[in-house]
Structure 1
Amino acid sequence: MYKPNFNKREVIVFRQFQRKGYSLFACLGRVVVIGVLSAATLQSATAATDEVSTKPEKADNTEAIDKEATLDDVEVTGSRAPLALGQAARMVTVLSREEIQAAPVQSINDLLKMAVGVDVRQRGPIGAQTDVSIRGGSYEQIAILLNGINICDAQTGHNAFDLPCDISDILRIEVLEGPAGRVYGASSLVGAINIVTSQSRDTSGEQDYNAQLRLEGGSFGYLSAAGRCSLPSTCKGSGVEALSSSLSASYTRSDGYQRSKADHLNSDYSGSKVFYQGAYADNLMQLQWHAGLSAKGFGSNTFYSGRFDEQYEQTLKFFTAVQGETSGRLHLKPAIYWNRGYDRFELIRGSEDLVPFNHHRTDAFGINLNCYFDWAAGRTAFGGEFRNEDIVSGNLGEPLNTPHGDYKFGLNRSNLSFHLEHNILLKRFTLSAGFVAVKNTWNEMPFTIYPGIDASLRLGQGWKLYASYNASLRMPSFTELYYSVGGHKADKYLKPEELKAVEGGLKYNGPLLSAQASIYHNHCREMIDWIMDPTEAEPVWRSVNYTRVNTLGFETSATLRLDQLLPLKGAILQLAYSYIDEDKVGNSQIESQSTLEYLRHKLVGQLRLPLAERLSLDVKYRLQKRAGSYTTNAGIVQPYHTYDVVDTRLTWSADRYTLYAEVNNLLGSHCVDFGNVRQPGLWLTIGAKYRFNI
């Protein structure tokens, strides 16, 4: 599952994979060079070893030593410039491909539920509509990236996880908790999540396979079919691929788990994805590109209004990007991208004559350049980014001079930023400091600087102490600026939200046990909120920069490698716990829609047991207590109740095929993440994967 990793000074190229610029936040100056990814943990973040050798290590036959050796092969940074493994001052948490394939889930959203610092609030299963946040923030306050490319939706964060790639495409998922404006730009108020894909062959069996088919079926009419293939490649000698690419496609549907009062389906789902990616490398440069499509429609139940239980939403998204990196003394990493999204919302499904549908089309175009070089005082990175966001809509924005079709309003804004960072590297100490300067055209925001500094000290074998201070920002969404229907009045001159945070922690990594503990404090000001003054003659909900929120949080985790104690190869036990307390500063006489519905307590655990040579069992446990309350359709104020969930998966693995059966919510817990939206009970899924060559 998740595992944090730290960078090494020299770039190491391994036999299995060549250095690819897309590997980790590439367009932002992050590089990962990978040999073999060891099993990581979502809930625990175990530190990598501090010292790294480019020479192969002689390991005995024990599984633990193998894991420690392969762990050294991973290079990850938490800054604009790639640093040394074990020296970087900022932690990046990684979910490996191995754990992704073994997890009892049907979507990326479900994968993230086991990250102890991540809050996944679903209004429906299999990725229908999910809000993801980090460390008590909101779904609008995190940056979502695909291969290092910002794919945030400027209309609303509700649609941020409409990803074009299938689970089989994913090489790893990376999570950075805490503000990092100097690294990720204007979207990462409380953190970032990067989905990294791969065009490599499937090496699950004893030989390589360039194609895979997957078929799943289960409860509530669930059916999913997917295919993926690595396209023919060209080589530049010694068996090294100069040009590589892959193509995948998937289709998923479900009848849903409940019906409306009129006995109509209101939680059904159907969606399709197509994703192409490629890469080229020679002695002078590397290029990477991707293009994808995501289309889905789902019954929205009572997602956005408890009065209407037959809502429906349909989204369509296109993604394109090209990235590169040059070799030499000065490394140049340019990237250019364009993403388009369509959204149609129906308050009463199929009844536009009763309530008009909401239509939106958003476009995001961006270009960025990150550069870095080495000199006597360390490693310095600098660069800039330009991003333009545009919307045409039925109700968001300014009136269009020439309305067309369903689009009568629109808005265009641009964001310009520049960054500078320097890194000082000593044998046991690392200091990374820098800033980002940001300007947005819509609200006439002047250039504003957001600094950050990270430091780490390696205390001895396996121990590391780290601390950081970072500031960041988040621009308001188009919905917050212009949604003025149904008793709402938006303010088009909202200011960006701003956050300052301090964090400190201690990590230990040994052959038997890995553990960590951290504490952090966030201070957020100019929080965007919807408020209402009940003393007004005609009270309405208004979007304003109204509140300040102080967050105090604590996280701890541990991983016990059971295969060091028992003759069970690959057996592990993992536990993690997170506690958050938030204090909202505002006028108590004013009613607010933001009721601090964060996860006060979250406990996650995993047990992985090999039952036989090819048979394994994964059991995942999650307990969470959400702060806040909601009002039922009957007008009763109801607090969020504590609930726990057990997910299991039994897997039989062979060279060419894999068979598995999984049960989600084994105990049938009554789960409510959003008021008045009940989650499904026990869900059974049976699936098979088949690998072959074409």
Structure 2
Amino acid sequence: MYKPNFNKREVIVFRQFQRKGYSLFACLGRVVVIGVLSAATLQSATAATDEVSTKTEKTDNTESVDKEATLEDVEVTGSRAPLALGQAARMVTVLSREEIQAAPVQSINDLLKMAVGVDVRQRGPIGAQTDVSIRGGSYEQIAVLLNGINICDAQTGHNAFDLPCDVADILRIEVLEGPAARVYGASSLVGAINIVTSQAPEASLERDYNGQVRLEGGSFGYLSAAGRYALTPHADQLTSSLSATYTRSDGYQRSAAGHLNSDYTGGKVFYQGGYADQAMQLQWHAGLSAKGFGSNTFYSGRFDEQYEQTLKFFTAIQGETSGRLHLKPAIYWNRGYDRFELIRGSEDLVPFNHHRTDAFGINLNCYFDWAAGRTAFGGEFRNEDIVSGNLGEPLNAPFRDYKYGLNRSNLSFHLEHNLLLKRFTLSAGFIAVKNTWNEMPFTIYPGIDASLRLGKGWKLYASYNASLRMPSFTELYYSVGGHKADKYLKPEELQAVEGGVKYSSSLLTVQASIYHNHCRQMIDWILDPTEAEPVWRSVNYTKVNTLGFETSATLQLHRLLPLPGATLQVAYSYIDEDKVGQHQIESQSTLEYLRHKLVGQLHMPIVERLSLDVKYRLQKRAGNYTTNAGIVIPYHTYDVVDTRLSWTAEAYTLYAEANNLFGSHCVDFGNVRQPGLWLTIGAKYRFNI
């Protein structure tokens, strides 16, 4: 981590995870200090202690005060330049590796359900398709990043979480709530989610293992097999790892004709590597994600045998130089294929939709220290291209299933300065963005963050930020199947203010924040049921004002009870949106937000090696949906309990999970029913080769 010392840079050693002094992921544009974490960090990783330690973290397994002292030693800065621990003013939620490995989930999407500011609208389980949004926004309005690389799908946000990595690859997940254009560029209108992977061997008790295999089975014909191998050669400068995953399920329901319509088959392969010496650091990754799933009534309630296949490739290389001026370049290329079948296997009845998207990007972020603080500057170029069966303008030379296409480029420059005092931090800057679509000129989006530390354990923070999002290719051109798109849509723009307070001690951590978002030219699909032939239209849906409140509390139960490592956490979020529009108009996504969300988590050791994790989630969604019979039904309140019982030994882990333990009736999208009780048993085996 960095002290407010502007003359030299000291590197923290990640003894807990990577055991290498260069494991900073500094090329991501942030600094992360990982100490000993617990499940309690999920909602409370924003503020930290006043004092910054730049010494190596302890690695002993003693249940002592030292472990609690490092609970707050996690910082993911919401800025272009890395800042000292405890000085960031932005709300950043962090899921640690320990939380991820202990969670009763089958996909990364499920992990995000416990972040109180995140809305996870699931159409299909085990990662089939999930729309993720933040603070009342839509699934199109967040930036999704893999190791700091933007992997957003310009075709549609529905496929944003087709990730190539397995849950076992993940070091942590970072959620930055609120406009993030100044940090992550265009597309991060209401926030960003960054999945950070690890090349390190798997750690268990006192030893590290360079290999792991996992096997799971459960309800509805569910089967998942995965393997991971981390190679750490004698030359400590070079690391690499390779993982592969296969998952399948028969699904939890059938169509009216008795056919499978919620089945799933998918596979992932992910390779990553890194190199570091005194002069530079490099890291790279390459991945593949392929899946096919029954889409039952995902996009139309009248057709219950829909089907979709997606295939995605990911490549990137990043670096950072040492010295007074830090240069952090990155280059990446992502490609995605999507095929949608309205009537499964019946292309003669309804033609399939075929799409191929490419995203190429290159960026450079630089920062340096001087007498007045730390300054960062840089720029990014990103090109997005699509060829499709129905999206875009007619191609001059159609080929295969592609008759239409579109290409657009985004160019941005950023500048930021950070003033660092003993108890006060001020971070201010802007991003200037230009997009070739609709001849958008350079537009500036500013931001300013401030934090004030009041005595031991207290912190106040406030921020103002502006951001934008370009419309997706689907929003611009999808005009089939009861939809009518507008290719002249304008970009969405949002301005937000936020303030909050946090108190942290060795026993209790409490945090509360309030925010106001003002969005204009918001893009949404709306339907007027009073029309003779209603269709869903993409529009810039006037202005929307969002007022939100979030609070969380984490109690270290092991301080009160003789239960080492036991924690209890409760968090609540409230959102109210005020919009201008007609009462009869139905909204497909943007204005169907989570008004209330309550989450609770309990981690409880039972006996040595045996532990219980219980997660509770209650939510009430605003808005209505229309059934196939034309009846308008409001979204009802539902709650879900997930549990996991784990036995962890030196070289293996055995576990049993129950998702939706009490079989609650869950509906996140109208006419798409979610599964009831889902049981899973599994085993992990760790080894060395």
Q: Same fold (TM over 0.5)?
A: yes
8 Å Cα contact 2:498-2:516 kept in structure 1: yes
Match of residue 233 from structure 1: 233
SS at structure 2 position matched to 1:67: helix
SS of the equivalent of 1:168 reads helix
**Which residue number in structure 2 is paired with residue 618 of structure 1?**
613
Kindly indicate whether residue 463 of structure 2 is the aligned counterpart of residue 464 of structure 1: no
Aligned to 2:162: 162
By how many angstroms is 1:234 displaced? 3.7
Aligned ranges for residues 493-504 of structure 1 at < 5 Å?
493-504=488-499
- For 1:425-464, list aligned pairs within 5 A: 425-464=420-459
Q: 1:576 aligns with which of 571, 580, 583?
A: 571
Q: Which residue of 2 aligns with 1:13?
A: 12
Assess if the C-alpha contact under 8 Å between 2:527 and 2:534 holds in 1: yes
> 1:65 is matched with which residue?
65
- What is the CA-CA distance between 1:421 and the residue it aligns to? 0.2
Describe the superposition over 1:117-159 as per-residue Cα deviations: whole angstroms up to 9, x where unpaired: 0000000110000000000000000000000000000000000
1:282 aligns to 2:284 (yes or no): no
Counterpart CA distance in 2 for 1:450 and 1:659 is 50
The answer to whether the Cα contact below 8 Å between 1:6 and 1:75 also exists between their aligned partners in 2 is: no
Deviation at 1:592, TM superposition (A): 4.8
1:322 matched to 2:317: yes
CA distance in 1, matches of 2:56, 2:246: 43
Q: Within 5 A, what are the aligned runs for 1:334-353? A: 334-353=329-348
Task: Tell me the amino acid that sits aligned with residue 537 of structure 2.
Answer: R
Q: Is the 8 A contact 2:545 2:579 kept in 1?
A: yes
* Residue 23, structure 1, aligned to residue 25, structure 2: yes
> Could you say which residue in structure 1 is the equivalent of 2:293?
298
Q: Name the CA distance, whole Å, in 2 between partners of 1:314 and 1:59.
A: 45
Q: Deviations over 1:583-639 (max 9, x none)?
A: 111244766545721110000001111101110001110000111111112221111
For residue 53 of structure 1, report the CA deviation from its aligned partner: 2.6
Q: Distance in 1 between matches of 2:308 and 2:3?
A: 43
Q: Equivalent residues in 2 for 1:79-94 (5 A)?
A: 79-94=79-94
Q: How many angstroms does 1:50 deviate by? A: 1.8
Aligned letter for 1:485? V
Deviates more, 1:31-40 or 1:157-166: 31-40
Match of 1:479 in 2: 474
Shift of 1:507: 0.4
Q: Normalising by the residue count of structure 2, what TM-score does the alignment of the two structures yield?
A: 0.96
CA contact 2:367–2:377 (8 Å) conserved in 1: yes
- Quote the Cα distance in structure 1 between the aligned partners of 2:58 and 2:539: 61
- Are the aligned partners of 1:8 and 1:85 in contact in 2 as well (CA < 8 Å)? no
Query: Following TM superposition, by how much is the alpha carbon of 1:68 offset from its aligned partner in structure 2, in angstroms?
Result: 3.3
Q: Secondary structure of the equivalent of 1:68?
A: helix
Asked if the contact 1:44–1:575 (Cα under 8 Å) also holds between the matched residues in 2, the reply is no
8 Å CA contact retained: 1:170, 1:197: yes
* Match of residue 599, structure 1, among 594, 598, 606: 594
In structure 2, the CA distance between the partners of 1:538 and 1:251, relative to structure 1 (3 Å rule), is closer
Q: Match of 1:238?
A: none
* Residues 47-96 of structure 1 deviation map (CA, whole Å, 9 limit, x = unaligned): 32121233579999973622234346545311000011012222322100
Partner of 1:419: 414
Aligned AA (2:510) = A
CA–CA separation in structure 1 for the residues paired with 2:239 and 2:609:
31
Secondary structure (helix, strand or coil) at the match of 1:491 reads coil
Is this contact kept in 1: 2:391–2:478, CA < 8 A?
Answer: yes
* Identity across matched positions, percent: 86
The letter for the 1-side match of 2:106 is Q
Q: Name the counterpart of 2:123.
A: 123
Q: How many residues align?
A: 683
Q: Which amino acid aligns with 1:14?
A: V
Name which of 398, 401, 405 aligns with 1:403: 398
Aligned ranges 1:543-562 → 2 under 5 Å: 543-562=538-557
SS of match in other structure, 2:614? strand
User: What value does the CA root-mean-square deviation take over the aligned residues?
Assistant: 2.0
Return the offset for 1:458.
Answer: 0.2
User: 2: distance between equivalents of 1:653 and 1:270?
Assistant: 29
Q: Distance in 2 between matches of 1:22 and 1:292?
A: 22
Selected match of 2:675 from 671, 680, 685: 680
* SS class of match (1:354): coil
- CA distance in structure 1 between the aligned counterparts of 2:677 and 2:595, rounded to whole angstroms: 25
| Closer/same/farther in 2, CA of residues 591 and 563 from structure 1, 3 Å limit | closer
Output the amino acid matched with 1:515.
V
Aligned twin of 1:213: 213
Do the aligned residues in 2 keep the contact of 1:59 with 1:69 (CA within 8 Å)?
no
CA deviation string 1:549-581 (max 9, x = no partner): 100000000000010011110001110000000
Q: Assess, with a 3 A threshold, how the Cα gap between structure 1 residues 317 and 279 changes in structure 2: closer, same or farther.
A: same
Give the equivalent residue in structure 1 for 2:349. 354
| Matched residue type, 1:196 | V
Rounded to whole Å, the distance in 2 between the matches of 1:283 and 1:244 is: 16
Offset at residue 19 of structure 1 (A): 4.9
Compared with structure 1, are the counterparts of its residues 75 and 537 closer, same or farther at alpha carbon in structure 2 (3 Å cutoff)?
closer
* Conserved? CA contact 1:245–1:276, under 8 Å: yes
Offset at residue 42 of structure 1 (A): 2.6
Shift of 1:544: 2.1
| Structure 1 runs not aligned, ≥5 long | 236-240
**Which of 631, 635, 645 is the matching residue for 1:650?**
645
SS at match of 1:557: strand
Cα pair 1:632 1:676 within 8 Å, conserved: yes
The alignment's TM-score, normalised by the length of structure 1, stands at 0.95
Q: For structure 1, which segment, 671-680 or 7-16, has the greater mean C-alpha deviation from structure 2 after superposition?
A: 7-16
What are the superposed Cα offsets for residues 214-258 of structure 1, whole Å, 9 maximum, x if unpaired?
Answer: 0000000000000000124242xxxxx200000000000000000
Query: Residues 156-196 of structure 1: CA distance to partner in whole angstroms, max 9, x if unpaired?
Result: 00000000000000000000000011111101000000000
Contact 1:273 1:293 in 2 (8 A): yes
Cα deviation for residue 31 of structure 1 reads 2.7
1:264 aligned to 250, 253, 259, which one?
259
The answer (yes or no) to whether the contact 1:22–1:148 under 8 Å persists in 2 is: no
Distance in 1 between the 2:107 and 2:48 partners?
28
**8 Å contact from structure 1 (residues 346, 357) kept in 2:** yes
- Distance change (3 Å), C-alpha of 1:447 and 1:250: same
Equivalence for 1:185: 185
SS at match of 2:208: coil
What's the CA shift for 1:38? 4.9
- Does 2:635 match 1:633? no
Confirm or deny: 8 A CA contact 2:12 2:54 kept in the other structure: no
How far did residue 13 of structure 1 move? 2.3
Separation in 2 of the partners of 1:316 and 1:59?
A: 41
Aligned to 1:108: 108
How far apart are residue 546 of structure 1 and its match? 2.7
**Aligned with 2:521: secondary structure?**
strand
Distance 1:112 1:589, change over 3 A: closer
**Counterpart Cα distance in 2 of 1:530 and 1:21:** 44
- 1:381 partner SS: strand
Question: Is residue 146 from structure 1 mapped to residue 146 from structure 2 by the alignment?
Answer: yes
- The answer as to whether partners of 1:129 and 1:159 remain within 8 angstroms in 2 is yes
